[in-house]
Chains A and B, each alone.
Chain A
Amino acid sequence: MGNESLGFIFLNALLINNFVLAMFLGICPFLGVSAKKDTALNMGIATTFVMFVSSMCAYGLNWLLVKLGIEFLRLISYIVVIASAVQLVEMIIKKYSPALFRALGIYLPLITTNCAVLGIAVFQTAKNYDLLQSAVYSVSAGLGFTLALLLMAGLREKLVLADVPSIARGTGMTLILAGLLSLAFMGFAGLGGGGD
């Protein structure tokens, strides 16, 4: 499994197996913060960044755990490392770029409980990716998450002006939109054939 080309990993995580629309990871922020395009974009960027950092940490950590023969501690150590990485990222951004911190501020702590972040760490371990593959995988999955969030925000901004039946004003309508988006993304499934 560990010998997939980088281009294939990129396409796979970005479009074919989009984290939100095909694998259902990170649905909470997807439904929660997709009401406006600019917040969606900020959230997407912050998540991509955290995914990259925690993917790299998880890679190093897994190497250490395997070396010591204590793989059963993997899950506990991953989640602790991710939570600390989020804290660390938050502090670094606050110190060096207050403007970026103001833009991302409230979203950063939320990312800890985003399943997409832990998902990245778990999947890259399951697929035996090496360091470079993990890096590409996490960045492209993050971009895929941002793409899905942006598309959804665009649709929801249009939806505000539409005449929707009264029972479908809440989450139900958002989920139907998500389903339609997911159907559209299934069209990318054919792309995977050539790269493997």
Chain B
Amino acid sequence: MSLSSKEEPLTLDTFVRGIWKENPVFVTVLGMCPTLAVTNSATNALSMGAATLFVLLCSNVLVSMLRKSIPKQVRIAAYIVVIASFVTVVDYAIQAISLQVYEALGAFIQLIVVNCIILGRAEAYASRQTVLNTAVNSVGTGIGFTLALLCLGVVRELLGAGTLFGARILPEQFQPWVLMLLPAGGFFVLAGWLLLIDWMNIRKERRALEQQGATVHGQ
């Protein structure tokens, strides 16, 4: 997230940081509402991720194209209208492709409009960078979001129903944890992932410190 108005060169980092270093769900903790609400099965998580990726890409590319002609005072309103148009497209498209998915995701497709990830990217990135950079960065962020949704969806479906993408994985004798499919389960699984990531970061920091200490001792 570069705060200066300079355009950055297109590097691999433009793409990758949305997936790992600035993962919208696990690191910047944005877009929590769909993350928790639609991840009760892996299929739902994947469809939501794909829908968000599409809106993120299209709207940010358009915002980037228009970045010189949108007056600064009304930019947020302009972004929102652009995002809302693409969400409407996705809403009708999903309805046409699969009614089952549409019913499972329900109103949450329309609520992509207020997903802070999209507006955040438009404001912090697309309004300052070239179209190509924006497209690459949006796809990276979208993939990061989809992966995070899948992380939650897979755990919740596996433990809550013993299935994965609708196919049975765990044996019939497995007693499903219905809790995982309920709202509370969403909070717990996300908390678990965040704790795991915090633990990994702390361990990495400690190891780096120890290494630093070792070189100091060696001298």
Contacts and interface: CB of A to CB of B under 8 A. Distances in A.
Contacts, number: 112
B81 A76 contact: yes
Interface of A is mostly: helix
B111 A167 contact: no
Interface string B183-194: 111111011101
Given A27-B36, A75-B113, A168 B195 contact: yes
B37 A24 contact: yes
A80 B76 CA distance: 11
A31 B32 contact: yes
Contact of B37 (A23, A114, A123): A23
B202 A75 contact: no
Interface string B177-206: 001001111111011101100110010000
A148 B187 CA distance: 14
A172 B37 CA distance: 17
B96 interface: no
> How many of chain B's residues touch chain A, expressed as a range?
35 or more
B50 interface: no
B22 interface: no
Contact of A72 (B88, B186, B195): B88
Interface in A15-58: 21-28, 31
A68 to B, nearest CB: 16
Given A72-B88, A75-B84, A80-B81, A123 B187 contact: no
A186 B184 CA distance: 9
A23 B111 CA distance: 12
Nearest to A166: B202
A195 to B, nearest CB: 21
Interface string A58-80: 00000000000000110110011
Contacts of A175: 187-188, 190-191, 194
Contacts of A9: none
A24 B84 contact: no
Given A24-B32, A27-B32, A28-B116, A172 B184 contact: no
Interface of B: 29-30, 32-34, 36-37, 76-77, 80-81, 84-85, 87-88, 91-92, 107, 110-111, 113-116, 119, 179, 182-188, 190-192, 194-195, 198-199, 202
